Amino acid sequence: MKIVVVGVGNPILRDDSVGLKVAERAVKELQERGIDVHLELMTTTDFDVIGKIAGFDGAVIVDGIIGGEPGKVRVMALEDFNPSISFSGSHSLSLPTSLKIGYELFGDEMPEKLAIVAVEVEDPYTFSTECTERVEKAIPLAVKKVVDVVRSWL
Contact 143, 25 (CB under 8 A): yes
pLDDT digits (tens, 9 = 90+) for 83-122: 554 433 444 678 888 899 999 999 999 999 999 999 999 9
Pair type for strands 113-120 and 73-76: antiparallel
Mean pLDDT calculated for residue range 69-74? 96
All residues at 6 or more sequence positions from 114 whose CB lies less than 8 Å from its CB, including other chains:
53, 58, 59, 60, 61, 77, 78, 99
- Cα angle 70, 72, 73; round to 5: 135
Lowest average pLDDT, out of 39-48, 88-97, 134-143, goes to 88-97
Domain at 3-153: CATH code: 3.40.50.1450
Q: Where are the domains of the chain?
A: 3-153
